Amino acid sequence: MDIKRKICFVLLFFMGKMVANAFDLNTLNGIWLGRSTYNWVVNNPKDRHLNTLTMLEDRFQISWDKDKNRGVLIIGMEPNNIQKIETFDNEIKMTYGYWENVITFRIISEKIIQVINHPYNSKIEFLYRICNIEKPVLGVGNINENGVRFRDKPELTSGFFYLLNKNEHVEIIGRSKEKQKIGEMEDYWYEVSICDGTRNKNSIERGLFFLDGWVFGAYINIENSEELKKN
């Protein structure tokens, strides 16, 4: 191997290590669904129950605590202790359960992961995150207009799941770093959960789901968080 190829190999190796070390494993936390179940959730936002076998087969729930280096993986409704997580580049190898089964993911984005290897179900190719139940609730509010877009990302050009109507309740779990001006309005984007005040792990374990998305702040009346109201 000539000197140039050796240098390229070493650089690629250390770049992969840097990406792996920089990746925050906590971003895996949440409920992930296969494509068909995810589409059902988006098209049926008022139905909170995932209680049929076909829906639960491609339901993954990941709760990982990077500080304690331990966590739980729920496939369907069956909990498994995560034994270890190994990362390299944008791939994640997760060992879980008593029999030390292994599942491998490739990170596509914060809301999409590709299943490279699944020990039991080879039909699942991609998983889509609908919510991150590890995020704390920062405040609550109500939508103040009809037909407010509930978006996938904090951007005016992003797609939206569906329309929210006046007086619908939301729980706020995040806020954009900067304000954005849209027409005469200027405000933050807020990441919210449409959950009717019932967002908690016990509800999740009973097969309920909550869809997380983004709403422009001018369309939310924030009720009980002075911190969120600050500029």
Residue 208 binned pLDDT confidence (cut-offs 50, 70, 90):
low
Two tokens at 142?
A: 């109500």
Select the more confidently predicted residue: 178 or 46. Answer: 178
Summarize pLDDT for 66-121 with one digit per residue, the tens.
788 889 998 877 889 999 999 887 789 999 998 899 999 998 888 899 999 887 77
pLDDT at 154 over 90: yes
Ordered by where they begin, the domains of the chain are: 3-131 (2.40.128), 139-229 (2.30.30)
pTM of the model: 0.76
Summarize pLDDT for 187-203 with one digit per residue, the tens.
999 999 876 555 555 55
pLDDT, position 16: 42
pLDDT at 14 over 50: no
